[in-house]
Amino acid sequence: MIAAAAWLLPHDLRAGGTRNTRVHDFKEFDEGTTKGAAIESSGKVTVGTATTRAELEDVNSVFSCLAGKKNLYVGTADDASIRKVTSSKKGVQVKTVAELSGVVVTAMAELSNGHLIAATLPGGALTRVTPRGKTSEFAALKGVKRIWALRVIGERIFVGTGPKGEVWSLALDGSDAKVVLDSEAKDVLSLLELDGEVLAGTSPGAKVFQVTPDVKGQLVHDFEGDEVRALAANDRGLVAAVNDFEKRKISTLKNLQSQLNRANLSGAAPPRKTASESSPDADAALHYVDLTGGGARRDLSRALEATWETWMDVEDQYFTGLATSSAGDFLVSSSRAGRVYRVKGRRDHAVVADLEERLATSLCRVTASGGRGKGPQLYATAGQGAAVYGLTDTAPAVARYTSEVFDAGQPATYGALIVRASGKVRAEARVGPTEEPDARWGDWKPVSLSATVQGLRGDLQLPLRRFAQLRFSLESANAEVREFNFFYGPENLAPKVSSVEFEGPDFDQEDDDEPEANAKIKWEAEDDDDDELVYTVRIRPEGSDEDAWIDLGPRDELVTKEELEFDVASVPDGVYEASVLASDAPENGTSKARTDEGRSAPFIVDRRRPRLNEVRVDGAAVTGRAVDDLSNIHDVTFQIDDGPLQAASPVDGLYDSPDEAFELRLPDLAPGNHRLVIRARDALGNFILSATTVRR
């Protein structure tokens, strides 16, 4: 599956609706796929190495591999079989050696007599397999429920186990089984022999231990992460593949279940291939420590005190295996799109293989001995579609890079393609209606490239479609693609004004002054293709003709915010409606801009004060009427002398009309004259005062 490009949006926006996408660094190139090409960490695609492939049609996954003295063996999932891999001019061939009990062959080791020792899940037993394929129990480890790693080191067999995080040691005949490391983790996933010492990587906790006479071992390093999935070494240093899962303390068993697309490790096998796969919630890193310190020999003690450098870190994937090339480079397999990376240093890594299957599960390096001639030195196994790949040092017959699928958001017109490249490079493009290419997509069309000052330039003469994909073929040994940039223009969608509202002058009950004459028109608008919008804001008396609109916007600048403040005193009192016209002209040009208009409900502009009529004082009772020509009466209040402001009551119980009868009752007053001030205020904050003398 090639996912739609999440980083295509937001776009590099240009006037006239023109957008462009640029791919120029490792992370962006790594979103695509390769065949015979390499993606370098410096941000370019170069000619890679040739691969040969053998598919296993009867199983779902190949999980493990072993480079024996004479043969390469792989362990499968679902049928827990061991297959022998051979290479010839005809390619890679795979032959079944033995079928074991269980679900998956997790680890294998070879004895000097050619017998294989194999571990399967579920269970903690080891099985012996003769060169003729006969099987027998080799050893059963008490309390062990899973075995992840096997190594023959000297005259002993070392076994990495779970769920107690132990390393066991056995004699070569399966006797004398004993625990030599109790790591206090749940699982020991990886084992490595380094200058006669045994190293173990654990999960969870991502620690590396050295096996010592003390069963607790020596802690070599504690990484940030959840597991040390694999260990490898070259002449100068030690490298650890560390996975960090978003869900803390995820078990390696669950990780394996996910790889095999199974809810459990027993019962019926799943279909061979799944239709889709989401990115795992995991990150992975490759950490390296120099064991020489500039000297000629490795010193393992430096792993305890020297700095571990992060040579590579990637997102949305986890590492599954490690190997060392004949040149001393490290190769690491990944859960993401069947990737195999080559890592030479902290700034030097590359994608050297891109398997057709979704998951690269393990790596093994073989030598040219044992009758294998000049065949591949590195083999990779695949899961979620089982296959074995041989990676050679020869030039590939085809070196091709295919971009991920780009999503324009809408059917789009495609324009120029600019490529920074060298050597002989051929470009092709295709478009379609879906985020995954299928039969509805068009054929690949060649793009004629010509040298310009910008680089190689061509026109993408493609049909109007939403999704597009590019492909580059490197047709000379020195060919490389360092960057490509293409231009497109999606169909322009009209904006939408969803609401328009009038917000009158703001005031509080206790305000002594009338509010300022400022009011606001506020609206909500959206544009489905994320165009920048500008607005025209107008009002007119309700029911009047189209030529009665009054423009409220400033004359010297565009309205870009979703509100506009205006002075209500600048227009006559009356009932109005507002119009907001949204336009996407800033990005599409005035001739191709699309618009949408929204209108408000009628609202009142009223700067005239209300009136107080028929005010009468009858003992302690005071009555009257508050009247306004346009607005409802908001409140009537009164004040005796310099006392507090108090509310008068509407006679009908509500202030809900422009004509309101009100009443109030005076408090007990001392003998003499008193000032009674009555204030009536309308809904827009305009008020009138009436003063009366009350005698007691």
Domain range list for the chain: 6-46+399-490, 49-271+278-391, 496-605, 611-695
State percent of the chain over pLDDT 90: 72
CA-nearest of 692, 691, 638 to 667 is 638
| 132-183 pLDDT per residue, tens | 999 999 999 999 999 999 999 999 999 999 999 999 999 999 999 999 999 9
CA distance 531 to 536: 16
CA distance 376 to 516: 84
The arrangement of secondary structure in 49-271+278-391, i.e. its CATH architecture, is: 7 Propeller (2.130)
**Residue 20: its H or E element:** strand 19-23
CA distance 146 to 166: 11
Quick one: average pLDDT of 659-672? Answer: 95
pLDDT of residue 257: 62
Q: Say which residues have a Cβ less than 8 Å from residue 558's Cβ, sequence separation at least 6.
A: 534, 586
CA distance 358 to 1: 8
Residue 679 has pLDDT above 90, yes or no: yes
Helix (H, G, I), strand (E, B) or coil at 635: strand
CA distance 262 to 148: 18
Residue 451 has pLDDT above 50, yes or no: yes
Cα 566 versus chain centre, distance: 44
Cα 255 versus chain centre, distance: 20
Q: Say which residues have a Cβ less than 8 Å from residue 267's Cβ, sequence separation at least 6.
A: none
Structure token pair of residue 200: 């173990």
CA distance 175 to 169: 9
pLDDT of residue 271: 44
pLDDT of residue 124: 86
pLDDT of residue 504: 85
In the sheet with 187-194, reading across from the earlier edge strand, the strands are 187-194, 197-203, 207-210, 218-222
Structure token pair of residue 405: 């699928």
pLDDT bin (cut points 50, 70, 90) of residue 261 is: low
pLDDT of residue 17: 78
Q: Say which residues have a Cβ less than 8 Å from residue 683's Cβ, sequence separation at least 6.
A: 504, 604, 606, 631, 632, 633, 634
Cis peptide before 122 (omega within 30 of 0): yes
Residue 9 has pLDDT above 60, yes or no: no
Structure token pair of residue 340: 């195999």
Strand 330-334 to strand 319-324: parallel, antiparallel, or no bridges (unpaired)? antiparallel
One-letter identity of residue 258: S
Helix (H, G, I), strand (E, B) or coil at 164: coil
pLDDT bin (cut points 50, 70, 90) of residue 444 is: very high
pLDDT bin (cut points 50, 70, 90) of residue 368 is: low
Q: Residues 569, 506, 686, CA angle at the centre, nearest 5°?
A: 55
Q: Say which residues have a Cβ less than 8 Å from residue 146's Cβ, sequence separation at least 6.
A: 106, 121, 122, 123, 124, 161, 162, 163, 187, 253
Q: Write the secondary structure of 436-474 as one string of H (helix), E (strand) and C (coil).
A: CCCCCCCCCEEECCEEECCEEEEECCCCCEEEEEEEEEE
pLDDT of residue 252: 60
Q: Say which residues have a Cβ less than 8 Å from residue 3's Cβ, sequence separation at least 6.
A: 31, 404, 405, 435
Cα 157 versus chain centre, distance: 43
pLDDT of residue 47: 93
DSSP state of 568: G
CA distance 170 to 190: 17
One-letter identity of residue 650: P
pLDDT of residue 530: 84
pLDDT bin (cut points 50, 70, 90) of residue 258 is: low
Q: Write the secondary structure of 601-614 as one string of H (helix), E (strand) and C (coil).
A: CCEEECCCCCEEEE
E strands, 41-155, where?
44-47, 51-55, 62-67, 72-76, 81-88, 91-99, 104-110, 116-121, 125-129, 135-140, 146-153
Quick one: average pLDDT of 370-395? Answer: 77
Quick one: average pLDDT of 13-24? Answer: 78
Quick one: average pLDDT of 514-536? Answer: 90
CA-nearest of 571, 564, 626, 579 to 604 is 571
CA-nearest of 224, 195, 323, 196 to 208 is 224
Residue 274 has pLDDT above 50, yes or no: no
The answer to whether 6-46+399-490 and 496-605 have equal CATH topology is no
pLDDT of residue 1: 30
CA distance 568 to 682: 15
Residue 375 has pLDDT above 70, yes or no: no
CA distance 148 to 165: 10
Q: Which residue has the tokens 């061979």?
A: 272
Residue 424: count of CB within 10 angstroms of its CB: 12
Quick one: average pLDDT of 520-545? Answer: 94
Residue 271: count of CB within 10 angstroms of its CB: 8
| 172-191 pLDDT per residue, tens | 999 999 999 999 899 999 99
pLDDT of residue 615: 95
CA distance 155 to 133: 24
Regarding predicted confidence, which is higher, 434 or 372?
434
Residue 276 has pLDDT above 50, yes or no: no
Quick one: average pLDDT of 342-371? Answer: 84
| Range list of H helices, 515-643 | 585-588
pLDDT of residue 312: 94
Under 8 Å between Cβ of 127 and 136:
yes
| 588-614 pLDDT per residue, tens | 888 889 999 999 999 999 989 999 999
| 327-354 pLDDT per residue, tens | 889 999 998 888 999 999 988 999 998 8
Under 8 Å between Cβ of 252 and 187:
yes
pLDDT of residue 371: 40
Averaged confidence pLDDT in the chain: 89
Strand 455-459 to strand 450-452: parallel, antiparallel, or no bridges (unpaired)? antiparallel
Quick one: average pLDDT of 283-299? Answer: 93
End-to-end CA distance of the chain: 93
Q: Say which residues have a Cβ less than 8 Å from residue 374's Cβ, sequence separation at least 6.
A: 368
Structure token pair of residue 413: 């017109």
pLDDT bin (cut points 50, 70, 90) of residue 57 is: confident
The pTM is what? 0.70
pLDDT of residue 360: 92
Q: Which residue has the tokens 């291939």?
A: 273
Structure token pair of residue 280: 């795992």
pLDDT of residue 10: 37
CA distance 507 to 511: 7
496-605 under CATH 3.30.565.10, yes or no: no
pLDDT of residue 5: 39
Residue 622 has pLDDT above 90, yes or no: yes
CA distance 356 to 376: 18
Q: Can you name the residues that pair with 575 across neighbouring β-strands? A: 604
- Topology of the domain comprising 611-695: Immunoglobulin-like (2.60.40)
Quick one: average pLDDT of 64-77? Answer: 91
Which of the listed CATH numbers 1.10.3470, 2.60.120, 3.30.450, 3.30.1300 matches domain 6-46+399-490?
2.60.120
Residue 454 has pLDDT above 50, yes or no: yes
pLDDT of residue 87: 76
| 503-513 pLDDT per residue, tens | 988 787 677 78
Q: Which residue has the tokens 């009136």?
A: 611
One-letter identity of residue 42: S
Cis peptide before 10 (omega within 30 of 0): yes
Regarding predicted confidence, which is higher, 196 or 370?
196
Q: Say which residues have a Cβ less than 8 Å from residue 4's Cβ, sequence separation at least 6.
A: 404, 405, 406, 407, 435, 467
> Which range has the top average pLDDT, 346-350, 370-374, 391-395, 613-617?
613-617
Residue 60 has pLDDT above 90, yes or no: no
Residue 163: count of CB within 10 angstroms of its CB: 16
Residue 660 has pLDDT above 90, yes or no: yes
CA-nearest of 621, 632, 626, 608 to 676 is 621
pLDDT of residue 322: 96
